């Protein structure tokens, strides 16, 4: 839990752009301007492609980041959702307006919201960090290709200029999933005060708002462009998260580098030639003084000495004990 009320109040501060967008979209939906149309297919394709690429890049960052415990397992469910949504949105950006056009977008919202809601179950269902995202990538790609190649098998998504019940229910379910995911991240932020959670919370919330706006829009009208702008802003939040993760990694690397440099400063290593007396074995230091070998090594390394006496020195210094030492040595052998 955040340690003080100031930290708790930042939830509102971080969510202020999302709140403004949500309020503005509701107000805008009741104005006559929301019914104006602007047909611009290349611009739409660019919006969707940029958002999809951001989603896929973010999923790679999440999968490559360190998972320190069960509380970080949300990264797997989140990356899986981003892979599924990003893949379908990428295919969606390449097709012409029509049934497949709306179908791929609606499915992207549905799968994205559904998979984001799995963050509530992630500690219980995750066995491998790669298995779910890879399966989702393969399934989403095959699903999109099948839809494009066999359009007669997909439900009717547009009737005239209005979205059908099938399109609306897919977006509605996806939107609910995004809102559930948003609640999970807000809860985690409240108890951990980790900004990454509040960024994910707003990312999900923006996609949920986008799904809600879909209900009131028609293809190419300004309301339709509004939820596209909302989705792009959500992807921008994801891009900010990528930057935050990168900055955090770089900061950790800098800290480790400083710690390593400090550690190396404290490491004393003897190198090069040491001038040593051939008789008494004293070593001459840089100032020309002769030091006992153990004193010199102790001052120039981390080594410590404990003194004893070897058998040869015992024979030399204490000859009266030689016979006793030899006797003990024979008994030991």
| Under 8 Å between Cβ of 55 and 136 | no
In the block, which residue shows the tokens 């410590």?
304
Q: Could you tell me the CA-to-CA distances from 163 to 30, 46, 111, 168, 313 in Å, in that order?
A: 19, 23, 19, 7, 101
- What lies within 8 Å, CB to CB, of 215 at 6+ separation is 168, 171, 172
Q: Which domain holds residue 217?
A: 5-262
Residue 159, strand partner residues? 162
In this prediction, residue 14 carries a pLDDT of: 61
pLDDT band at 253 (very low <50, low <70, confident <90, very high): confident
In this prediction, residue 141 carries a pLDDT of: 95
> Domain check: are 28 and 149 in the same one?
yes
pLDDT in tens, 57-71: 888 888 877 666 555
The DSSP output letter for 280 is T
> Domain check: are 133 and 215 in the same one?
yes
**Residue 219 is assigned to a structural domain of this protein:** yes
> Domain check: are 81 and 167 in the same one?
yes
> Domain check: are 243 and 327 in the same one?
no
> Domain check: are 250 and 326 in the same one?
no
Structure tokens at 133: 């995202």
In the block, which residue shows the tokens 């400083």?
258
Q: Which conformational region is residue 290 in: left (phi greater than 0), alpha (psi within -120 to 50 degrees), or beta?
A: beta
Question: What is Dmax (Cα atoms) for the chain?
Answer: 117
Determine which helix (DSSP H) or strand (DSSP E) holds 270, and give its type and residue range.
none
pLDDT band at 279 (very low <50, low <70, confident <90, very high): confident
> Domain check: are 242 and 300 in the same one?
no
**Residue 189 is assigned to a structural domain of this protein:** yes
- Can you tell me the mean pLDDT for 77-96? 90
In this prediction, residue 1 carries a pLDDT of: 47
In this prediction, residue 269 carries a pLDDT of: 57
Listed residues 235, 262, 289: the one ending a domain: 262
> Domain check: are 152 and 32 in the same one?
yes
In order, the DSSP letters of 62-126 are HHHS---SGGGTHHHHHHHHHHHHHHHHHHHTTSPSSHHHHHHHHHHHHHHHHHHHGGGTHHHH-
The share of the chain scoring above pLDDT 70, in percent, equals 79
**Residue 172 is assigned to a structural domain of this protein:** yes
Q: Average per-residue pLDDT in the chain?
A: 79
Structure tokens at 99: 């049934």
Q: How many whole angstroms separate alpha carbon 239 and alpha carbon 241?
A: 5
Burial class (CB in 10 A: 0-12, 13-18, 19+), 161: exposed
> Domain check: are 181 and 49 in the same one?
yes
- Can you tell me the mean pLDDT for 101-105? 92
pTM reported for the whole predicted model: 0.68
pLDDT band at 197 (very low <50, low <70, confident <90, very high): confident
What is the separation, in whole angstroms, between the first and last Cα of the chain?
69
Whether residue 154 is predicted with pLDDT greater than 80 in this model: the reply is yes
Indicate the range of 36-50, 158-172, 207-221, 290-304 predicted with least confidence. 290-304
> Domain check: are 215 and 258 in the same one?
yes
> Domain check: are 253 and 279 in the same one?
no
- Can you tell me the mean pLDDT for 41-45? 87
């Amino acid at each position: 839990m955040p340690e003080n009320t100031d930290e708790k109040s930042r939830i509102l501060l971080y969510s202020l752009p999302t709140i403004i967008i949500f309020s503005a979209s509701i107000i805008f939906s009741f104005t006559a301007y929301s019914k104006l149309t602007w047909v611009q297919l290349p611009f739409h394709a660019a919006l969707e492609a940029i958002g999809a690429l951001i989603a896929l890049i973010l999923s790679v960052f999440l999968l490559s980041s360190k998972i320190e415990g069960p509380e970080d397992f949300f990264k797997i469910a989140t990356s899986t959702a981003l892979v599924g949504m990003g893949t379908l949105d990428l295919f969606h950006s390449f097709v012409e307006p029509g049934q497949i056009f709306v179908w791929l977008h609606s499915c992207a919202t549905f799968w994205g919201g559904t998979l984001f809601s799995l963050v509530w179950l992630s500690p219980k269902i995750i066995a491998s960090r790669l298995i779910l995202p890879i399966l989702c990538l393969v399934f989403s790609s095959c699903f999109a290709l099948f839809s494009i190649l066999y359009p007669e098998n997909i439900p009717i998504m547009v009737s005239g200029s209005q979205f059908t019940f099938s399109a609306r229910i897919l977006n509605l379910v996806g939107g609910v999933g995004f809102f559930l995911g948003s609640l999970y991240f807000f809860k985690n932020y409240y108890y951990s005060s980790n900004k990454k959670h509040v960024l994910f919370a707003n990312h999900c919330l923006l996609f949920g708002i986008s799904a809600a706006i879909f209900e009131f829009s028609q293809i190419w009208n300004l309301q339709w462009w509004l939820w596209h702008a909302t989705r792009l802003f959500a992807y921008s939040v994801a891009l900010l998260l990528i930057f935050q993760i990168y900055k955090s990694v770089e900061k950790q690397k800098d800290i480790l580098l400083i710690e390593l440099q400090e550690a190396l400063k404290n490491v004393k290593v003897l190198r090069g030639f040491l001038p040593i007396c051939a008789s008494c074995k004293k070593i001459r230091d840089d100032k020309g003084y002769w030091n006992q070998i153990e004193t010199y090594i102790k001052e120039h390394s981390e080594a410590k000495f404990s003194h004893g006496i070897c058998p040869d020195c015992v024979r030399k210094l204490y000859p009266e004990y030689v016979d006793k030492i030899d006797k003990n040595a024979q008994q030991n052998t």
